[in-house]
Amino acid sequence: MKSVFCLPIWISLLFIGNLANQLCFAQAPTQTLKGRVIDAESGQPIANAHILLQPTQPALGSQTNDQGFFKLRNIPVGRYNLAITAVGYEDTFIQEILVGAGKEVDLTIRVREGFQQLNEVVVKAARQQGASINVMSSVSARSFTIDQTKRFAAAINDPARTVRSFAGVSGNDDSNNQLIIRGNSPKGVLWRMEGIEIPNPNHFSEQGASGGGVSALSATLLSESDFLTGAFPAEYGNAMAGVFDLKLRRGNTEKREYTIQAGPLGLDLAAEGPIGKKGASYLANYRYSTLALLTKAGINLQGDAQTDFQDLAFKVYLPVKSKGTLSIWGVGGLSQIRQQQPDVIEEARSDKGVIALNYRYQVTTNAFWEAIVSFAGQKNTVEQDSPDTFAKLTQQFRNQALRATLYTNIKLDVHHTLRFGTLVNLIGYHFVDRFQSEHEPLQMRLHHQGQTALWQAYGHWKYRMSPSFTLHTGIHGLFFALNQQGRVEPRLGMRWGISPGNVLSAGFGLHSQTESLPTYLVQIPVKNGLTDAVNKDLQLPYSQHFILSYEYRPTTSYRLMIETYLQRHKAVPVGPVGTLNPYLRTFSSLNQLDGYVADSLSSTGTGRNYGIEITFERFLNAGFYFLATSSLYRSIYTAQDGVERGSRFDGRFVFNQLAGKEWKVGRHQANTFGLNVKSTWAGGNRGVPIDVDASKHQGKPVYQWAAGYADQLANYFRIDLRVSFTKNYQERTTTLSLDIQNVTNRLNQHYRSYSSTRQEVITHTQLGLIPVLNWRLEF
């Protein structure tokens, strides 16, 4: 009898619970948008700034507190714009902020002080979309967002693959993310994170390379960052081609949040949240992959090999009293490839890591200084065994670096800003490169252990003469202790708003870069069986960058940019003076992808690059964007024989077209379906021609070195596609995405080799169609 009376009660409770659940999910998912407003020049927080969220009905707004913080709660998921106004500062607009249910949005908004004229403040729009975060940049610099690394077709959360869509940038290998910038070698790219140089942050990388097969950086940790392609500001040194200036975001200081992503590239886990209740936070990420799923599907990113990688990254943010902040961060990655063929077994490992401490102190409202100390290590090893011939190759490249930098930023007034600093790089190294076979004596090309140092200092003065004209002057000094070589590098930039929406910019810079350490330490036989490191007297190669740019913005969503440039390379390592070796007579380090040359070199080579770039883009607005870039260029080098030739990276042209559309779907329009497409058309890779008749006669490949890189392969063409669906629930977001690289399965030509067995030249092709399916959960 008792159960009879209980049954209606249970049914009623279940009905009420189900109804409550439906009502709960009937409500539109909401999230919190918060952030901090600071002075773009001095970093000082801006109090009492007004924040207006657009478009919302009714209007939603907030005001910053005395530390510059603001918060907007219960915002329905979607994309929004922010308008920021503050007394004495230019109005600032931030467009297309993505608000999802799974994570709170935390922004750092930089506003620029307005000019005072006739007792009135001249107010106009400040930093625009795509503009560099670094206020000291004047030309050939743009920012990229983490939203773009997730949204661009075939970017797959990789910063390097993302910027391949920008003008002047290309790649020559589908299985590698290395960058060819304005016809320069990829080894000329500098990677920085949180203000200091880091090792190449890519898996499956080789010694001396700047790229790799897979990025070791998870986009989950990154914040909006800068990418520079020429005439860098004074603070950037030891780079000739380009600079990645990456930023790590701060973990949520009020709420614990988590991210899980799974796909054929592996498992990606992230966690963040507050430490105590005084504004401290942590952020950590771990990834692991064997690439086994792709291999089983017949897709081999690294050829017929067993591959796996894992990486870890973190950042701990700790406010110190009222004027200081301390952050401890690190990035590390392990990767290996093992390949077994009938006649050879090869295993290669690439391990790297960096841990750092940043301390920043706000001295006054207009000045701050920051000290950074980091320790980095990198190891590349190759073991190659040929059982039939008893041949064995062993390569071990290990180096460690203790780096420390201290810089000061002073905003004297609305017109003048100074930034100056020093960087010390203490390097320890241990290199081994030897080869031995049954019928040949031991060849010890490199066996060296020691220490050296790289010292740098710089100063930069930014002068805002008027609201529309800014002048940059700077100087950078570099000294390399290993070969006692140094160089003083002037920098100059100008930005002139000739009329509303029209900006003319120009830049000049002298930029030098050290070669990879093994280049200086290679051992060459001299006499009586002795060897010597003959390249220690090499000079520092350098490049002079001249750039002229025009930018037109008819509205806040559209931009047309035209840039033309000339780069002149001097003191380039080439073959020794008087050499008769055909290879060394035409060798130039400007043609190297990575590694080093086990020969004597001299610093008498030259080169030049020139070209024009056109960018036309519509930034994401009303769910639609497009980006079209066109680059026409030449890359020329002169080796020891004095003959001008097209370089290995003289592709002549690159055209990129990207477009994407987002549709709001579902109840309350809270979910998003996205479609993104990209096409690339570029000049084919170049190689040295192979003399087929001579190769047949000698039974091995014989190259026509005197022809240089005259053998250009067929033009490269590829179409990529990305389809995604994002569903927002209360306090969680799921995303299912499918990236298809090379959707037409076109087999672009990669390189040529000579087959002694077939006695013919073989043309190898790049990767075909590659589908990458990912599932992502944020909560």
How far apart, in Å, are the Cα atoms of 62 and each of 29, 47, 232, 371? Answer: 21, 12, 37, 34
In 31-190, alpha helices (H): 146-151, 159-163
Q: What is the pLDDT of residues 175-187, one digit of tens each?
A: 899 999 999 999 9
Q: What is the longest distance spanned by two Cα atoms in the chain?
A: 110
pLDDT at 292: 60
Q: Are strands 189-193 and 242-246 parallel, antiparallel or unpaired?
A: parallel
Measure the CA–CA gap between 368 and 229, rounded to whole angstroms. 28
Measure the CA–CA gap between 731 and 382, rounded to whole angstroms. 47
Task: Taking residues 124-137, report their average pLDDT.
Answer: 79
CATH architecture for the domain at 26-127: Sandwich (2.60)
**Strand, helix or coil for residue 364:** strand
Check if the beta carbon of residue 605 is closer than 8 Å to that of residue 572: yes
Task: Taking residues 503-525, report their average pLDDT.
Answer: 94
Q: What percent of the chain has pLDDT over 90?
A: 77
pLDDT at 23: 43
pLDDT at 761: 94
Q: What is the pLDDT of residues 329-354, one digit of tens each?
A: 999 999 998 887 777 888 999 999 99
Q: How confident is the model at residue 307 (pLDDT cuts 50, 70, 90)?
A: confident
Res. 675: pLDDT tops 70: yes
Domain ranges across the chain? 26-127, 225-778
**pTM of the model as a whole:** 0.91
Q: How confident is the model at residue 384 (pLDDT cuts 50, 70, 90)?
A: confident
Q: How many CB atoms lie within 10 A of CB 340?
A: 12
Q: What percent of the chain has pLDDT over 70?
A: 92
Task: Taking residues 509-527, report their average pLDDT.
Answer: 90
Beta bridge partners of residue 352, listed in sequence order: 333, 378
How far apart, in Å, are the Cα atoms of 50 and each of 123, 508, 732? Answer: 15, 39, 29
Q: What is the pLDDT of residues 590-618, one digit of tens each?
A: 999 998 988 999 999 999 999 999 999 99
Measure the CA–CA gap between 592 and 572, rounded to whole angstroms. 12
Give strand ranges (E) for 387-501.
Answer: 391-411, 416-436, 443-466, 469-480, 485-499
H or E element: which one contains 517? Answer: helix 517-521
Q: What is the pLDDT of residues 78-117, one digit of tens each?
A: 999 999 999 999 999 888 899 999 999 999 999 999 886 5
Q: Considering the domain 225-778 in this protein, what is its CATH number?
A: 2.40.170.20
Res. 123: pLDDT tops 60: no
Which of 25-39, 647-661, 679-693 is least confident? 25-39
Say which amino acid occupies 71. K
Which tokens in the block code for residue 48? 């009492």
Give strand ranges (E) for 104-184.
Answer: 105-111, 115-117, 120-122, 141-144, 169-170, 180-181
pLDDT at 295: 62
Measure the CA–CA gap between 512 and 478, rounded to whole angstroms. 8
Q: How confident is the model at residue 408 (pLDDT cuts 50, 70, 90)?
A: very high
Res. 9: pLDDT tops 60: no
Q: What is the pLDDT of residues 680-710, one digit of tens each?
A: 999 999 999 999 999 999 989 999 999 999 9
